[in-house]
Amino acid sequence: MAKFAPFELTYKTVARLNNYADGFLYLSTCISVAITILGYLDRYPVLKSILIGTNILFICMYVFLDNRANYIFTKVEMKRRLDWLDNSFGTNFSGKRSIEYFTNDHISPGMYKLAVNCFENSYHTQFIINKMLPEIIFKTCFIVLVFVCSAYFGNREFVRMFFDLSLPAILIQKLIKVLFFSIRMADVLDRFKLLFNNLMQSGFEKKEPEALRDILEYETALSWASTPLDSSIFNKNMDTLAKDWEEMKLQYQIKTL
Closest alpha carbon to 121 in 87, 74, 96: 87
Domain span at 137: 8-251
Is 32 contained in some domain? yes
Tell me, what's the pLDDT at 159?
53
Is 204 contained in some domain? yes
Sequential pLDDT tens for the chain (257 residues) = 346 777 888 999 999 999 999 999 999 989 988 888 888 787 888 898 899 889 889 989 999 999 999 999 998 998 899 999 998 999 988 888 888 788 888 889 999 999 999 999 999 999 999 999 999 999 999 888 887 777 677 655 655 666 666 778 888 889 999 999 999 999 999 999 999 999 988 889 889 999 999 999 999 999 999 889 898 998 899 899 989 999 999 999 887 65
Is 2 contained in some domain? no
pLDDT tens for each residue of 165-217 = 677 888 888 999 999 999 999 999 999 999 999 998 888 988 999 999 999 99
Is 72 contained in some domain? yes
Tell me, what's the pLDDT at 16?
95
The answer to whether residues 102 and 120 touch, using CB atoms and an 8 Å cutoff, is yes
Of how many residues is the chain composed? 257
Instruction: Provide the H-helix boundaries in the chain.
Output: 8-41, 45-89, 111-153, 158-199, 208-225, 231-236, 238-251
Instruction: Look up the pTM and report it.
Output: 0.85
CA dihedral 56, 58, 60, 62 (to 10 degrees): -150
Q: What is the chain's alpha carbon radius of gyration, rounded to the nearest angstrom?
A: 23
Tell me, what's the pLDDT at 38?
86
Tell me, what's the pLDDT at 169?
83
Is 235 contained in some domain? yes
Is 1 contained in some domain? no
pLDDT tens for each residue of 172-184 = 889 999 999 999 9
3-state class (DSSP) for residue 4: strand
Number of domains in the chain: 1
Question: CA distances (Å), 192 to each of 3, 86, 98, 107, 165, in order?
Answer: 27, 21, 24, 17, 41
